[in-house]
Amino acid sequence: MSRKYFGTDGVRGKVGEYPITPEFVMHLGYAAGKVLAAADWHLSEGTRPAILIGKDTRISGYLLESALQAGLIAAGVDVYLAGPIPTPAVAYLTRALRLQAGVVISASHNPFEDNGIKFFSGDGSKLPDETERAIEAGLDSPIVTMASARLGKAKRIDDAAGRYIEFCKSSFPYELDLRGLKLVVDCAHGAAYHIASHVFHELGADVVAIGVQPDGKNINDGYGATAPGNLQQAVQEHKADLGIALDGDGDRLVMVDAEGRLYDGDQLIYIIAQQRKAQGVMKGGVAGTLMTNLGFEHAMQRMDIPFARAKVGDRYVMELLQQKDWQLGGENSGHIICLDRHSTGDGIVSALQVLHALRAAKQTLAQAAAGLLMYPQILINVRIAKGGDLANHPDVRAAVTAAETALHGKGRVLLRPSGTEPLLRVMVEGEDRAAVQQWAEKIAQVVRVAAETDSVPR
């Protein structure tokens, strides 16, 4: 059975539009509570299953938190409220507190009008597909509130941020520190606004914090990993050594060097892999995605590090890592997974792994990334009808075939529907930037025409 509501990163949409309505979210909480409560947790007699709820800084978080909490409590599940906290903090606290699941209310890098719900299992990993399907199946049944004596209770965790700060610091080697480094840290006015700068400062860095004044509406607006312009400017204005940008829920990372050059996920994963290979602690290979730069794949081959591609989405990178028993992987968008440090992707922890590599090798970002020759890669997002399958449209397929022929095997074309928005992502990559740009624009235009034709009523 395919999933109706869950995408690659939970349930997501515009607030007030189905399914991101209080009625649906309450029902989702109830259905999740019933599925998770039915699992065999070996709880002591009289103990109810418990679920942690965290959220980012969107104003709609208050609304959805209350609805979700009501549904879970009606299903007889206790609720722990962590307030605004990064997605990876929810994964960590769920595991540390021995809870049955964790829920994050966030739409990650999307604008504030959007929001979403995503779940973690008790071990701090994303819920498997079969559990999400079981929750969706439960949405077909009405809410039947438990008897009063069996209702859940709610409790607020007042020290959630402090617990997570200490966890992040523990992922950095005790024999190293960040003294002498000046960092600009951009939190995208998001969930890490009161956390990230403390982590780096307590490890010894001189920290300039930006994007740390959330008002409920400014998350990801001109700041953070998806809008690094302000970070690049701030690094140069403050004469900082490095810049670190997270996204709204704190699981993405991009970095900037002292000259204002931007480093994406592929480059940062390369730096981590290179250092681990040099120290003899590289376990297995590296997992990327269909969007990982071809230059990265060639760099792994040169270092004799196995490499494999998963579908786009950090959940699929995680599945590939677990399947192969590897530890390192991620996406060029900045989702980086270090399974020897955390059970999920974590922007702060990933930044510390990059800083570990730089400190250990006594290198700058530019020096550490010099061995990676990135191929020009052009990505164009084309808006399409929700649920449309234009990647297989005859005209689109013909344009892709023409591009692949023209690139003579020295590049590739990828068409991928977004898992969170009604977009078809057109990516062309190759050695010749001009040719790559030309073909990306040609294919995108064919997609636009096909989208308009398909939208005409018949």
Query: Can you say whether residue 156 is alpha, beta or left, with left for phi > 0 and alpha for psi between -120 and 50 degrees?
Result: beta
DSSP secondary structure string for all residues of 370-388: TT--PPPEEEEEEE--TT-
Confidence check: pLDDT of 457 > 70: no
Active site residue 108: yes
* Strand intervals (E) in 290-394: 307-310, 328-330, 336-338, 377-383
Mean pLDDT of 193-219: 98
**Tens-digit pLDDT profile for residues 95-116:** 999 999 999 999 999 999 999 9
**Tens-digit pLDDT profile for residues 281-339:** 999 999 999 999 999 999 999 999 999 999 988 989 999 999 999 999 999 999 999 99
pTM score above 0.85: yes
**Structural domains of the chain, ranges and CATH numbers in brackets:** 11-161 (3.40.120.10), 171-259 (3.40.120.10), 263-368 (3.40.120.10), 377-455 (3.30.310.50)
Is residue 311 a contact partner of residue 213, using CB atoms and an 8 Å limit? no
Q: Residue 456: its pLDDT value, please? A: 43
**Tens-digit pLDDT profile for residues 389-409:** 888 999 999 999 999 999 887
Confidence tier at 41 by pLDDT (50, 70, 90): low
Is residue 49 a contact partner of residue 36, using CB atoms and an 8 Å limit? yes
Q: Residue 8: its pLDDT value, please? A: 76
Is residue 349 a contact partner of residue 164, using CB atoms and an 8 Å limit? no
Catalytic residue among 108, 121, 125, 350: 108
